[in-house]
Amino acid sequence: VNEVVVVGAGLAGVRTVEALRARGFGGRITLVGEERHRPYDRPPLSKAVLFGDADTSYVDTDLAALDVEFQAGVSAKALRKGVVETTEGELRYDGLVIATGAEPIRLPGDGPQHVLRTLDDAHELRAMLVPGARVVIIGAGWIGAEVATAARRAGCAVTVIEAGPAPLATAVGAEIGARTQRWYDGIDLRLDTMVDSVDEGGVRLVGGEFVDAHVVVTGIGVRPAVEWLTGADIDLHNGVVVDEHLRASLPNTVAVGDCAAWWSRRWQTRLRVEHWDTALNAPEVAAASLLGEDVAYDPVPYFWSEQFGHMVQYAGHHLAGERLIYRGEPEGKWSAVWLTADDALAAVLAVDRPRDLVQGRRIIDAGHRLDAERLVDPEVSLRDC
Ligand code: FAD
């Protein structure tokens, strides 16, 4: 490989550039990014940036020292064998990294609708979160909960509309989600409620009711940003289909980060994880694979969310129906663990209990079994269960 093109200048893209250079790759690297910003981290956008505690979250990297040609504000439009077509012309490659991330799903309607994906989105939204503003947030998932946290803190009148029976129901199940419902104090939380459209001045619910709003934020999920690959000779299914080495079906091509659905050896299924830790760490494997090394990406996936003053952390991968055990009461610090049929730890979700997270992640990695009777006592540390 002599000429690498990296499409997508988010965390996964820039980390892959770093990893290629760290492995001694001396060829040419072009990094193409739709946004005009240099690479930045997204988690702070719905936290420090929205709170007004920070204005930017640039990744601490030196693009000049990495000797990368960074084309900002340039989009890839299509892919042919050996050629990426961009809004600024064609780029030839003999190694390709697809790191285009994901993009928010929007709802129908002509009214102004905010999403929160980019630094520009965060600045735009922040300016509107003023005391007394009526803010309607659609979706009580990770992003919705974090935006609600910021809006309540800014003194807005906040309504959260969720289609499911509890917050976070889609992400971690309604039973766990219901435990977080008490955090929505002072917020008009409407569950089992579907939005029909976002209109001028508010949102129209299915059934006809209109909810007034100065600001509407849609946080109903993202989809992998792979539309530009339609028509290319590459397997796409819920993102770019890659093997455990993060190699795509097209030769000399890897995909990494939010856009990649990789084969997990550990869980024997394909996973697409839309979280920071994957964008941070998978690039090591993507770079190595592109350079012909034989390494696999086989993590215990991890993410966190900071909402309503709580630190929520999750590690692992669980299936619906796996045995769920709580450690601690919902009013305080608690965690939940999922056990497989043979009592191995499948996943852990910790609320303000970082030690459970750290120990749980190690236990999952090692494949240890746990004693369900001891687990229910939050005083017994996980590693002693
Ligand atoms: P992205 O960050 O999406 O970067 C992809 C880049 O590619 C984008 O800049 C995009 O503009 C560009 N691009 C797309 N298409 C093209 C194209 N055709 N041509 C050129 N460029 C293109 N995760 C956590 O674990 N914890 C958190 O607390 C957390 N908070 C978050 C808060 C917010 C507001 C958001 C949006 C995400 C959060 N995440 C969090 C998720 C985490 O930020 C993502 O998993 C991570 O950003 C994925 O990185 P990526 O590089 O794969 O994709």
pLDDT in tens, 253-285: 999 999 999 999 999 999 999 999 999 999 999
The residues near 155 (Cβ < 8 Å, ≥ 6 apart) are: 130, 131, 132
Count CA atoms within 13 Å of residue 22 on its CB side. 13
Q: Determine the straight-line distance between the first and last CA of the chain, rounded to whole angstroms.
A: 49
Predicted-complex ipTM score: 0.99
What six digits make up the tokens of 370? 């746990």
Distance in Å, CA 325 to ligand 1 centroid: 32
CA-CA distance, 250 to 129, in Å (whole number)?
A: 45
Q: Determine the residue of 97, 114, 258 to mutate for testing ligand 1's pocket, defined as the one with the most ligand atoms within 8 A of the Cβ atom.
A: 258
Reduced 3-state DSSP string for 71-138 = EECCCEEEEECCEEEECCEEEECCEEEECCCEEECCCCCCCCCECCCCHHHHHHHHHHCCCCCEEEEE
pLDDT per residue as tens digits for the range 138-188: 999 999 999 999 999 999 999 999 999 999 999 999 999 999 999 999 999
How remote is the CA of residue 282 from the centroid of ligand 1, in Å?
Answer: 14
- Element holding 276 (H helix, E strand): helix 276-290
**pLDDT grade for 320, boundaries at 50, 70 and 90:** confident
- Between CA 250 and CA 232 the distance in angstroms is 9
Q: Which CATH class is domain 106-218?
A: alpha beta
Superfamily of domain 3-103+222-290, CATH level 4? FAD/NAD(P)-binding domain (3.50.50.60)
pLDDT in tens, 65-112: 999 999 999 999 999 989 999 999 999 999 999 999 999 999 999 999
pLDDT for 321 equals 85
Virtual torsion, Cα 180, 185, 191, 195, nearest 10 deg: -120
Pair 169, 177: CB distance under 8 Å: yes
Residue nearest to atom 26 of ligand 1 (CA): 304
For 9, the token pair is 């200048």
- At the topology level, CATH places domain 309-384 in Enolase-like; domain 1 (3.30.390)
Same-fold call for 106-218 versus 309-384: no
Distance CA(254)–CA(19), nearest Å, equals 13
What distance in angstroms lies between residue 41's CA and the mean position of ligand 1's atoms? 8
**Which among 259, 253, 239 has a CA at the least distance from the CA of 4?**
253
Q: Which atom of ligand 1 is closest in space to residue 304's alpha carbon?
A: 26
Closest alpha carbon to 343 in 363, 320, 359: 363
Domain ranges of the chain: 3-103+222-290, 106-218, 309-384
